[in-house]
Amino acid sequence: MVMTIPTENIGSIPRPQKLVDAYLRFKRGQLDRASLEEIALEATRETIQRLEETGSPCVSDGEQSKFDGFASYCLHGATNLAPDGVEIVFSDGHSRFLPRLTRGPFRYQQGADRFLEISRKLAQVPVKQAVISPSVISLLYPQGGIENYSRGQFIKDILSEHAAEIERCLSLGAHKVQIDFTEGRLSLKLDPSGELLQGMVDLINQGLSGFTDVQRQRLGVHTCPGSDRDATHSADVDYKDLLPTLFRINVANFYIAMAHEKDPEKGLRIIKTLLRPGIRVFIGVIDPINPEVESPELVRDRVLQALRFIPLDQLGTCDDCGFSPFVDDVSTSREIAFEKIRARIIGTKMAEAVLDKS
Ligand SMILES: [Zn+2]
């Protein structure tokens, strides 16, 4: 019997230069929204086709239409934001800023289901959809508060937008809905006591409280140390401080960056202690930060290593992160991203073949 190990990508694929240029022109007011979206649609079509050509059993739109980045697609066009919110500092010294909410009420400008609707029509195989976590959006609320719009009301508004977005993605037939929780690991740098992280996990669970166990089988959460211009924001945070709290999230799928870890065995050993029935852990076997393409043999060995700690029926493989979470991040080429994904598919199959023989 051939055993199968599910394998999925995390999210972003570097956008074609034409789309990057179009977005910059759009931001300068030199291109209208409809033309930008037409170019994004063309990039999405090509991305899905190329993902399918790698043999991926499940694809996504490669976030071609999340123009600003993985976190802010739901904010595009909002008029109640200022650009000077929370600063995220990366290991090479560069920063990204979250926006700051200037007045209420907070509403999503668009949900990720909008992208899923398009990609479902373009794909031949199952399609997954990544959505942003309510916890990163919660960071938009300013420390000093907002007149006539309490933090409590803001949180209520985020959670209802978030749950409705997931609900729509599930109704559209998403293979998986993956909550991007990159700020989970980062939160331990901002607050080493772990209180901020616990609050974030509680918030995510609160947002998911209305979903059934059957729906949760299709819900997942992704953690990584950040990946932008080949730099990370929290790779130095120890998994022993993150994973026990992260695994409290009430979903059935966990997508955990591992290929870039200094000591993957240590991470896997921690995961082993946190496994519970009914969950699957997708282990990162491809490092998007590293421009070198992994060989399928290396991927195979990483899968076999993971199997020493995670039972076969609870294991999956994935990339450590998206390849270009922000539109202007061109540190990894589109070609390399597809080659790396191909190596993940082949390497995962090679591991299955080893198991089949044994
Ligand atoms: Zn990530």
* Two structure tokens written together for 92: 């090479």
Q: How far is the CA of 322 from the centre of ligand 1 (A)?
A: 6
Burial (0-12, 13-18, 19+ Cβ within 10 Å), 154: buried
Tell me how many domains the chain contains: 1
CA of 233 to the centre of ligand 1 (A): 11
Looking at the domain assignment, is residue 240 inside a domain? yes
Q: Is the pLDDT of residue 114 over 70?
A: yes
Q: Is residue 257 part of a domain?
A: yes
State the pLDDT at residue 55.
95
Q: Note whether residue 2 is domain-resident.
A: no
H or E stretch covering 132: strand 129-132
Please check whether residue 1 lies inside any domain of the structure: no
Interval between CA 91 and ligand 1 midpoint (Å): 15
- What's the pLDDT tens digit per position in 143-156? 999 999 999 999 99
| Domain ranges, residue 106 | 7-357
330 CA to centre of ligand 1 in angstroms: 16
Burial of 18 (C-beta count, 10 Å sphere; 0-12/13-18/19+):
exposed
Using a cut of 0.75, tell me whether the model's pTM lies above it.
yes
Q: How far is the CA of 323 from the centre of ligand 1 (A)?
A: 9
CATH of the domain at 212: 3.20.20.210
Alpha-carbon gap, residue 61 to 40, rounded angstroms: 10
Cα–ligand 1 centroid distance for 183 (angstroms): 9
CA of 118 to the centre of ligand 1 (A): 23
Is 198 among the domain residues? yes
Please check whether residue 330 lies inside any domain of the structure.
Answer: yes
| Contact indicator for 188, 241 with CB cutoff of 8 Å | yes
Q: What spacing in Å lies between the alpha carbon of 132 and ligand 1's midpoint?
A: 11
- On whether residue 45 sits in a domain, the answer given is yes
Euclidean distance between CA atoms 11 and 329, whole angstroms: 14
Instruction: Give the Cα separation of 103 and 81 in Å (integer).
Output: 8
Identity at 172, one-letter amino acid code: L
At 296 the pLDDT is 98
Note whether residue 290 is domain-resident: yes
Question: What is the rounded average pLDDT for all residues in the chain?
Answer: 94
Distance 29 CA to ligand 1 centre (A): 30
Q: Is the pLDDT of residue 95 over 90?
A: no
Q: Is the pLDDT of residue 1 over 70?
A: no
**DSSP β-bridge partners for residue 315:** 281
